[in-house]
Amino acid sequence: MILSYIQNISTAHVLLLSASKLATQLGKEFGVLQFVGSDKEIGERESVLSEVLRTLRIKTAFSEVCCAKLSQLSEICEKRDVSFLFLQLSDCRSKSIQQLLNACRDLRIPYLLYKDDFQELHLDKVILPVNFLEEEVEKTQFAAAFGRFCGSEIVMLLANDYGSKAGTNAERMQQLFDKFEFKYSFGKGLKDSFGIDKEAVQKAENENAGIVIVTASRDYGLDDVLFGPKEQHLVKKSTKPVLLINPRGDLYTLCD
């Protein structure tokens, strides 16, 4: 299931259209979820949501308004067997972005913070930055799905490092891509592994790509807590949707 978590239904129309279209392309069910602060609000919000979905001609497997906290979002996604999560981003302040990122830290599925001023999602071109971290390879399956089912061109952007680890990751990705028939290209960026994600976001804007796939931070260090992790800054500055993939903590460990 592809799930859309919305905060303000009046400004969520483009998100809902984008998410429901992707669900159709991927052959998935589509659901909508909204949280409220008290049970008294549920009835009115459900009526408004139902009317918006009817007006937009969007069919859902379920649409729910419930009294819950953002911290429960990950648990709800697991119970609903969600495979892809859209999150409405109405407030682009750093604090608001980080609240959504914190709620998604335990997710094992891709998630996308969708700004209210974004255009309807198109996936003609997907930018895939590749750095030296071994968890980068986890992005391959999602990029491949866009290529296979959405007709996306996958543009790999290799970090300009002195070492060979980023190149090895790219080769592993290409091995999977070559098993399927879709268009992908390979190029080297100007930035190293620490700056390639930012360069990819700029490239997406310059080339009007539909999306950038980025690996989220493994752990938050002191700088991340004080100044925000890289994904917070990428989401805040990007004019294109940034798809985030959490590293699998059970597969990777930090070296001493």
pLDDT in tens, 111-135: 999 999 999 999 999 999 999 999 9
Q: What is the Cα–Cα distance from 88 to 85, expressed in whole angstroms? A: 10
In degrees and rounded to multiples of 5, residue 90 shows phi and psi of -85, -30
Q: Please, which pLDDT band fits residue 256 given cuts at 50, 70 and 90?
A: very low
Q: Please, which pLDDT band fits residue 219 given cuts at 50, 70 and 90?
A: confident
pLDDT in tens, 50-98: 999 999 999 999 899 999 999 999 999 999 999 999 999 999 999 999 9
Cβ-Cβ contacts under 8 Å for 188 (sequence gap 6 or more): 157, 158, 160
User: Which among 146, 144, 206 is positioned nearest to 177, based on CA atoms?
Assistant: 144
User: Which among 134, 144, 116 is positioned nearest to 213, based on CA atoms?
Assistant: 144
- If you compute the radius of gyration of the chain from its CA atoms, what whole number of angstroms results? 18
Q: Please, which pLDDT band fits residue 223 given cuts at 50, 70 and 90?
A: low
- H helix or E strand, kind and range, residue 206: helix 196-206
Q: What is the pLDDT of residue 227?
A: 65
Helix/strand/coil for 157: strand
Residue 252: is its pLDDT beyond 90? no
Q: What is the pLDDT of residue 69?
A: 92
Query: What pTM does this model have?
Result: 0.92
Q: What is the Cα–Cα distance from 251 to 240, expressed in whole angstroms? A: 30
Helix/strand/coil for 19: helix
Q: What is the pLDDT of residue 217?
A: 86
- H helix or E strand, kind and range, residue 126: strand 125-130
Give the chain's domains with CATH numbers: 2-115 (3.40.50.620), 125-245 (3.40.50.620)
pLDDT in tens, 132-157: 999 999 999 999 999 999 999 999 99
Q: What is the pLDDT of residue 254?
A: 39
Q: What is the Cα–Cα distance from 159 to 198, expressed in whole angstroms? A: 11
Q: What is the pLDDT of residue 249?
A: 58
